[in-house]
Structure 1
Amino acid sequence: MNPFSFNCYFDEYKNKGRRIVMKLFYAAGSSSMAPHILLEESGIPYVLEKVNLDTKTWNGGDYNSLNPKSYVPALATDSDGVLTECAVVLEYIGRQTNKEHFIDEYRSKSYWKQRMWLNYIATELHKNFISPFRKGNWLPNTADSKSFVYKRVLPRLKFVDNALKQQDYLVNNEFSAPDAYLFVITNWIKRLGYNFDDFKNLQSFDARMRERSAVQRVLRQEGKAHTLQEKD
């Protein structure tokens, strides 16, 4: 199957009178939660496809045939094929909605701030949370890997915490695409049992995000994430 030919997956929904323009491939609690949140916030019709990252499969078979990178998110669209990389997927979703503040007008001052945050979260936080010493395709799940990751992310988390000192959200003090991505990180902090004592502003941000109805729906829809207990 050509991974960029997705019309067949959208036809069944079109025939039911519902215009589906996006299909999000996700794993519970992973970085794909960020585009999931933005889709819920946007009101854009979409469907979810759960991916088993251990077996590299989804309901349609081999996930690697769809996304050879073997990770989530992947976003299948009826017009632009399959998109990967969380920051790119977030910007794409933001461009499809009339809520312009999700991703601001191209080349505006706010747009470049949003792009800086998306890239910072992707490269300095997201990737540094993925320890090379973890066992399996997940977050750190051994005592050594958790300690190693914390040392790497600590100064980066402090930088973001300081940026939130006098504002609720990262850009223009209103929710936008980078905030959905940052919530993935604060959710990982909680799941890994890291202490929020040094990150009071991030802790407040996390609580604020959990009050949003879209975030609450996403947490219910995704359910329990994979275990982070040490594996043999």
Structure 2
Amino acid sequence: MDVYFSPLACSLSTRITVYEAEAEDSVRLNRVNSKTQTLADGTDYRTINAKGLVPAVRADNGEVITENAAVLQYMADTFPKAGLAPAAGSIERYRLQQWLSFVGTELHKLVFNPLLSPKSNDGAKAYALEGAIERFDYLNSHLEGREYLIDHFSVADAYLIAVLNWAQFVGIDLAKWPAVAAYRDRVSARPAVARALKEEFTLYQAA
């Protein structure tokens, strides 16, 4: 299986998933240059994912899957012994999908994309910061008294920690939401997560 990533992008969640599943021997991690959209060997990444976005997974049979929520569930189902997603069709699986959707739409796209994009104007950034308050209030309320988004660590947590990592780059102080800040610290300390964060920070800084 080939996994395509860019350092500290949302594809960080796929690296976390690989390490949580102890699947390093089954997965090839391929870096995508986010500026040129090429791989290390010069291959145009858009020949693999026409959208040019990470992450993407290319299965051993050549099938390509894109969009983070789909990629993460595919990887969880490929390595089921890791227990990173509830059984398909169960109510717990729909809860997982609920949180993948929340992280992807309410945090990733609505809050962080405008704050991280150099194309965003001041109005867009102000709107994103205003929207962040309500969404982090909701997340904080959910995480009070909980270890993870659902009843155990899942690929939704891998996605959320990748997104929360961006707060430091856009001036969002998670200390305003104590349960979120505690969650970030707790999840970041997991061996697989800490390893993935360290490796991708190193790759990002070396770019």
Q: Which has the larger radius of gyration?
A: 1
Indicate the SS of the match to 2:58. strand
Equivalent residue number for residue 89 of structure 2: 107
C-alpha contact (below 8 Å) 1:87/1:118 kept by paired residues = yes
> What is the CA deviation profile of residues 193-216 of structure 1, one whole-angstrom value per residue up to 9, with x for unaligned ones?
211232111101110111111012
> How far has the Cα of 1:49 moved from its partner?
1.0
Equivalent residue number for residue 172 of structure 2: 194
Indicate the SS of the match to 1:131. helix
Is 40-49 or 92-101 further displaced after alignment? 92-101
- Root-mean-square deviation (CA, aligned residues, Å) is 2.2
Indicate the SS of the match to 1:102. coil
**Equivalent residue pairs, number:** 201
> How far has the Cα of 1:154 moved from its partner?
2.2
Indicate the SS of the match to 2:162. helix
Aligned pairs (5 A) from 1:153-172: 153-172=132-151
Indicate the SS of the match to 1:125. helix
Q: Give 2:47's aligned amino acid.
A: S
Structure 2 CA distance for partners of 1:144 and 1:126, relative to 1, 3 Å: same
Q: Within the alignment, does 1:24 sit opposite 2:6 as a pair?
A: no
Aligned pairs (5 A) from 1:209-228: 209-224=187-202
Structure 2: runs of 5 or more not aligned: none
Structure 1: runs of 5 or more not aligned: 1-21, 228-232
C-alpha contact (below 8 Å) 1:133/1:145 kept by paired residues = no
Equivalent residue number for residue 49 of structure 1: 30
C-alpha contact (below 8 Å) 2:21/2:82 kept by paired residues = no
Distance 1:133 1:219 in 2: 19
> How far has the Cα of 1:221 moved from its partner?
2.2
> How far has the Cα of 1:175 moved from its partner?
0.4
Per chain length, whose mean CA-contact separation is higher, i.e. which structure has more relative contact order (CA < 8 Å, sep 6+)? 2
Aligned pairs (5 A) from 1:135-146: 135=118, 146=125
Paired-residue identity, %: 27
Structure showing the higher helix proportion among its residues: 2
TM-score, normalising length: structure 1: 0.79
Indicate the SS of the match to 1:220. helix
